[in-house]
Structure 1
Amino acid sequence: MHNVLRISVVGDVDIRAAGEPVLAGKRKALALLTYLALAAPHRFPRSVVAGLLWENVPEAAARNSLRQILSDLRKAFTGPAEALVSIDRESLGLDTAGVEVDAVALMEELAAGRLPDVLIANPELPDLLFRGLDGIGDEFDAWLHEMRRVFEEQLTERLGRLIEPGSAPEETRLKAAGILLRLDPFNEKACREVMAISAARGETREALKAYEALFMRLEEEMDIEPSPQTQDLAVRIKMGEFKADPPAQPAARPAAVATEIGPPRLAVFPFQNLGPDDVPDYFVDGILEDTVCMLASLKEPRVLSSNSTRGANLRERSARERARELGANYTVFGSIRRAHQRYHISVQLVEVGTELVEWARTYTASENELFDIQSHIAGSIANKLQPSVQTAELRRTSGFKPADLSAYHLTLRAKELAFRLKRESFGEARDLLLMAAEKDPTFAPTFIALTDWYSISLGQGWSDDPGRDWKALEDAASRALRLSGESGRALAMYAHNQTIQHGADARTESMLSNALEQTPSDAEALVWSVPTLAFLGKADAAVENGERAASLSPSDPFMFRYQHFLSIAYFAQRDYGKAAEIGVTSAEANPMYASNVRMTAAAFAASGNMPEARRFAEMAMEIDPGYSLSRYEKTQPFKDPETATALLENLRKAGLPR
């Protein structure tokens, strides 16, 4: 796709659509688009964006200000650019397929072995980023600070690769080494490259001048001398014995094979204290420990022990370098900044191989909230990381054949196919899951997904042998429970399917209570509890768990199921308008989810909107033509007679057949 939107963040922030400047002088509109461009492909709830740009403004006023900014965007973007900004009632995002960001393009140039002119002219480039956007608010300033830090780290790493012998022409390597020294005057590797190339050219004076500058800096500021390797090079140059090392031949890399990778490994590094005020060590250590523990309880991705990362000094070595040593595919790192009794926490998830930022988020807490918010932040990070990692892994392995995929990647691909809820691809999802189970019969997530597959097949009315499939579901759920060591998530899903098959009762409620005691901040365990609680007449608890689950995983690719379960809870609460509203949102995301379409039809009928009730009833019958109320009446799940009667009567009023 031809780039129709260009965003410049080097120097003064400037945005152009079809070559023409837009939003000039509208600082918060520029800030919003910059944030969306660098956080893509994620969508953000309006409340999050409003809080970021108007953090000290009452929520209602902040939302009004955001609406004005969005109105400005709609007016500014016409033609092809209009489709790039996606805005709905709850969230917004940016399609980067037609967007070019100059800082990202610069990184791509470096990765291709070229040194951009703008970098040669401005070696202190990280300091020039986002000019004009500082001062919008503490939280947005913290995000800018983190983006500058990440940019500088990536710039340093890519320049380090560019100066390797044989990686680029000599002149390019020399300039890249000079820029590295401007960014980090203590970078001995860059200094040695300047020395070696200069000496090989016969420019001994320039070579020794670079060495002396490094020597003086190290001695004055750190009271140490250069490494023996650097000193030895200086001696060789002084003795006239120096000869340039022959270009290093890059080692051949084996082709990436997904079956050798399995579930990705994740390294969580200690958060960096950026000042200006000290942050308590217990808080820094607490976030690390809590995040690792919560991720470990989810079984996948595999998280490395905090003992392996706690001592990492990311100021001395890049997270990417340390992660490679540990064999990690993804890193989580961040920063904590304390100012005026407020704590600003920034977090990023980065794929090690490509350096892509897959997810980023900032949090703010006052000092008296610090201890209470520690576990909340860790839980939020854990729940948001898992779908981000899964999305990245789906993208990374999209070109592999099924036979070359590990059980983990087969399971991810199967889930993605299953939740399209299209009959033509639904059977393929089951085939992939059976292949995954054969490849690794001990991988619990495969059997959790297989349980889900049978549950959906039965709920959609697609099973040609319900008795057989109920048994297969029971077998898969039991196996998932055993293999996972009765993890909270597997136990919650097992309890949910027991409810669907046999009805909600004290036993399934007890299972869910145990599951949530194990993993109280796991979004999936929470969401599985919602229908059972609603069916048992505990609608308030069901709504609370559903809302919390959705807030913990707002970018979940299967959010439509969270919304459907929440719609059930609101129906049980007799808030039929809210049930219908959330059901519509779910249907917009996935119109083939039969259970949700039927519940939405009933909710519209109960709230008196018969045209919409009939429309959703017709949609439901298109998905499952064999559905009948007489059959459903025997298994309808609500224990409260009044709620059960309301559901059946309103399904009938909507037009579903007897």
Structure 2
Amino acid sequence: MRYLFEDYELDASRRELYRDASVVALTPQAFDLLNYLIRNRERVVGKDELITAIWKGRSVSDVALTTRLNAARSAIGDSGEKQRFIKTLPRKGYRFIGMVQEAHSAPTAAVIEIQKEAAKPALALPDKPSLAVLPFSNLSSDPEQEYFADGMVEDILTGLSRSKSLFVIARQSTFTYKGKAIDIRQVGRELGVRYVLEGSVRRSGDRVRITGQLIDATTGAHLWADRFDSQISDIFDLQDQVTNSVIGALFPQLERAEIERAKRVPIGNLQAYDYYLRALASFYEFTREQNIEALRRTRLAVEVDPGLAAGYALGAYCYLQRKIFGWTIDADQERSETRWLARRAIELDKEDPTVLVRAGQAIAAVLYEIDDGVSLVSRAYELNPNLAIARYTIGLEHIRRGDVEAALKQFHAGVRLSPVDPFLFLTQTGIACAHFLTDRYEEGASWAKSAVLHRPNYLNAQFILAACHALSGRVEEARIIGARLTEARPALRISALLPKLTRIYAPEHLERMVRACHVMGLPP
């Protein structure tokens, strides 16, 4: 069924909205809302009915409904003030009041042309996450904000392009869409990308709000959205803050989306990159069994593609995970494997920040070649300052050198960059440790508890929590945790810990840590 009103045509079967000969961009839920109101235009549709129809009865806020309603209105040249097509009836609901013609016949010639255009062969998608960053919309009345919005996109593109694990379309191509009504799926076909980032900038007085949303261009599904508010005291500082926040939030979302996509690929069709993504999915389960599965899949990935640096780096990372969670089986053999995998990854690609950070962290933590490992992570940080996990290692290096406040800055920057990062528990533990080393035991305990809640089987977080309790006078609680640690790791004793602690802590902090070990009741 097609519905015609003024210059618009809504094709329910194709799920597309046209104005004259152009496709009008519309999110799936906003399209569903508009379609539902048009189909039920003879009556008022209540809020609860709309939520049931569009969200299938899921609990959603009034803001979500208002946002989709505004998007539908905007797509057809309407607004809450004009209400030319969609009328709001206070405390009753909404009704589509435009004159509509229903058409069962073939599409118009203009629509046929659009469909022909859409039917052209799409560009092949690259074998890694591919992204286009569209020009951000300036929603302010101030035309000066246009430059700010364009600069924001420029910085985001620069930041994303630092990662060799992403395929990012150049600015010259994406800015051809500036000021145009577009269909995200068409953009994906024309540019050959799987993901599209779009956003807007709105200024009000001395405040500015930037919104961003990541969309799967193959389906039109929204994967992530966020907004950032700030004072315009220094426009360039604000631009940097928002850029870093957007990039830091995007990387985990893109990674999750790619993992989910790989899970849907039939086993018989798996290639090296899909094996790698499935290995990553197993790795992020943070269990002994899935760690073994992740290693198996990384081996399959590099068998298919011996030049896949990310596969070797992830293999080394799997051994690091075994080390920090206490799953090591044969320490000598695993150190040897880690060394080979990490070195091979670096030989293959010295410029990929993700490869460098994983190889570097494995070299530092599994091989205890800390200077070499930190050097690689620092290089990754230079290439991509938005890589949150790199901040963790740099923070630990500051602790090793005795500069706790500098460590805290790095840890907090990592949390800000990626607040839902799979490795958040590591950074939380780092912050807890920094507070412990500066006598702020209650703050340290609070961060350590967060890490334990996030990842209960990460025993180092429990160790730092016990240390904070031990020196804050909460001895009984410290001893309970200490007993739990020795039960989980029967070989755990102060004499065995001392060489490791000596590598990690400055002399002025080592004595404090050893004292806490005695108080929490660890065997000598």
TM-score normalised according to structure 2 size? 0.76
- State yes or no: 1:530 paired with 2:450: no
Shift of 1:371: 1.6
Distance in 2, Cα, partners of 1:384 & 1:635? 34
Q: How does 1:217-296 map to 2 (within 5 A)?
A: 229=109, 262-296=127-161
Distance in 1, Cα, partners of 2:270 & 2:73? 35
Q: 1:657 to 1:107 in 2, by over 3 A?
A: farther
Q: 1:289 to 1:483 in 2, by over 3 A?
A: farther
Shift of 1:266: 1.1
Q: How does 1:411-426 map to 2 (within 5 A)?
A: 411-426=276-291
Q: What is the SS of the residue equivalent to 1:298?
A: coil
Q: What residue in structure 2 maps to residue 52 of structure 1?
A: none
Q: What residue in structure 2 maps to residue 84 of structure 1?
A: none
Structure 1, unaligned runs of 5 or more: 1-102, 131-139, 157-178, 184-190, 201-206, 212-228, 234-246
Please say if residues 279 and 336 of structure 1, whose CA atoms lie closer than 8 Å, have aligned partners that are also in contact. Answer: no
Q: What residue in structure 1 maps to residue 36 of structure 2?
A: 116
Q: How does 1:96-245 map to 2 (within 5 A)?
A: 116=36, 119-121=39-41, 147-148=68-69, 150-151=71-72, 197=105, 229=109
- State yes or no: 1:599 paired with 2:464: yes
Q: 1:585 to 1:413 in 2, by over 3 A?
A: farther
Q: How does 1:307-326 map to 2 (within 5 A)?
A: 307-313=172-178, 315-326=180-191
Shift of 1:287: 1.2
Q: 1:538 to 1:459 in 2, by over 3 A?
A: same
Radius of gyration: which is bigger?
1
Residue identity matched to 1:344: R
Q: What residue in structure 2 maps to residue 625 of structure 1?
A: 490
Shift of 1:278: 1.4
Shift of 1:261: 6.5
Shift of 1:512: 5.0
Distance in 1, Cα, partners of 2:382 & 2:43? 53
Higher mean displacement: 414-423 or 270-279: 414-423
Shift of 1:554: 0.8
Q: What residue in structure 1 maps to residue 509 of structure 2?
A: 643
Higher mean displacement: 401-410 or 427-436: 401-410
Distance in 2, Cα, partners of 1:333 & 1:484? 31
Distance in 2, Cα, partners of 1:582 & 1:349? 31
Please say if residues 277 and 337 of structure 1, whose CA atoms lie closer than 8 Å, have aligned partners that are also in contact. Answer: no
Distance in 2, Cα, partners of 1:627 & 1:105? 55
Q: What is the SS of the residue equivalent to 2:209?
A: strand
Residue identity matched to 1:121: R
Please say if residues 125 and 194 of structure 2, whose CA atoms lie closer than 8 Å, have aligned partners that are also in contact. Answer: no
Shift of 1:449: 2.3
Distance in 1, Cα, partners of 2:111 & 2:325? 72
Distance in 1, Cα, partners of 2:138 & 2:250? 22
Q: What is the SS of the residue equivalent to 1:557?
A: coil
Q: 1:655 to 1:330 in 2, by over 3 A?
A: same
Higher mean displacement: 568-577 or 628-637: 568-577
Q: What residue in structure 2 maps to residue 372 of structure 1?
A: 237
Distance in 2, Cα, partners of 1:533 & 1:369? 29
Shift of 1:474: 2.3
Q: What residue in structure 2 maps to residue 345 of structure 1?
A: 210
Q: CA offsets, 1:177-211, max 9 Å, x none?
A: xx99989xxxxxxx9x95x83xx8xxxxxx9xxx9
Shift of 1:396: 3.6
Residue identity matched to 2:506: D
Structure 2, unaligned runs of 5 or more: 1-26, 52-60, 78-95
Higher mean displacement: 476-485 or 290-299: 476-485
Please say if residues 527 and 549 of structure 1, whose CA atoms lie closer than 8 Å, have aligned partners that are also in contact. Answer: yes
- State yes or no: 1:475 paired with 2:340: yes
Q: What residue in structure 1 maps to residue 263 of structure 2?
A: 398
Shift of 1:346: 1.2
Distance in 2, Cα, partners of 1:232 & 1:293? 38
Distance in 2, Cα, partners of 1:368 & 1:290? 19
Distance in 1, Cα, partners of 2:44 & 2:144? 29
TM-score normalised according to structure 1 size? 0.61
The equivalent position to 1:559 in structure 2, one of 397, 401, 424, is 424
Please say if residues 399 and 506 of structure 2, whose CA atoms lie closer than 8 Å, have aligned partners that are also in contact. Answer: no
Residue identity matched to 2:459: A
Shift of 1:541: 0.9
Shift of 1:334: 0.8
Shift of 1:506: 6.4
Q: How does 1:433-448 map to 2 (within 5 A)?
A: 433-448=298-313
Q: What residue in structure 2 maps to residue 580 of structure 1?
A: 445
Q: 1:480 to 1:104 in 2, by over 3 A?
A: same
Q: CA offsets, 1:322-374, max 9 Å, x none?
A: 12221211110011123334322111111123322211111234444212211
Shift of 1:273: 1.4
Q: What is the SS of the residue equivalent to 1:310?
A: helix
Q: CA offsets, 1:590-622, max 9 Å, x none?
A: 111122222322222222222332333244334
Distance in 2, Cα, partners of 1:515 & 1:577? 34
Q: CA offsets, 1:204-227, max 9 Å, x none?
A: xxx9xxx9xxxxxxxxxxxxxxxx
Q: CA offsets, 1:413-449, max 9 Å, x none?
A: 3334334332232211211122222233333333332
Distance in 1, Cα, partners of 2:427 & 2:401? 18
Distance in 2, Cα, partners of 1:284 & 1:141? 28
- Between the aligned residues of both structures, percent identity stands at 26
Higher mean displacement: 116-125 or 409-418: 116-125
Q: 1:231 to 1:273 in 2, by over 3 A?
A: closer
Q: 1:633 to 1:410 in 2, by over 3 A?
A: same
Distance in 2, Cα, partners of 1:358 & 1:123? 34
Distance in 2, Cα, partners of 1:152 & 1:396? 33
Residue identity matched to 1:282: Y
Q: What is the SS of the residue equivalent to 1:656?
A: coil
Shift of 1:571: 2.9
RMSD: 4.2
Shift of 1:117: 5.5
Q: CA offsets, 1:628-655, max 9 Å, x none?
A: 3322212223342231122223123223
Please say if residues 530 and 569 of structure 1, whose CA atoms lie closer than 8 Å, have aligned partners that are also in contact. Answer: no
Q: What residue in structure 1 maps to residue 436 of structure 2?
A: 571
Residue identity matched to 2:228: Y
Q: What residue in structure 2 maps to residue 332 of structure 1?
A: 197
Q: What is the SS of the residue equivalent to 1:521?
A: coil
Q: CA offsets, 1:41-92, max 9 Å, x none?
A: xxxxxxxxxxxxxxxxxxxxxxxxxxxxxxxxxxxxxxxxxxxxxxxxxxxx
Distance in 1, Cα, partners of 2:270 & 2:160? 23
Please say if residues 462 and 624 of structure 1, whose CA atoms lie closer than 8 Å, have aligned partners that are also in contact. Answer: no
Q: 1:359 to 1:290 in 2, by over 3 A?
A: same
Distance in 2, Cα, partners of 1:461 & 1:348? 39
Q: How does 1:7-156 map to 2 (within 5 A)?
A: 116=36, 119-121=39-41, 147-148=68-69, 150-151=71-72
- State yes or no: 1:547 paired with 2:412: yes
Q: What residue in structure 2 maps to residue 36 of structure 1?
A: none
Residue identity matched to 2:250: L
Q: What is the SS of the residue equivalent to 1:358?
A: strand
Distance in 2, Cα, partners of 1:448 & 1:393? 18
- State yes or no: 1:384 paired with 2:249: yes
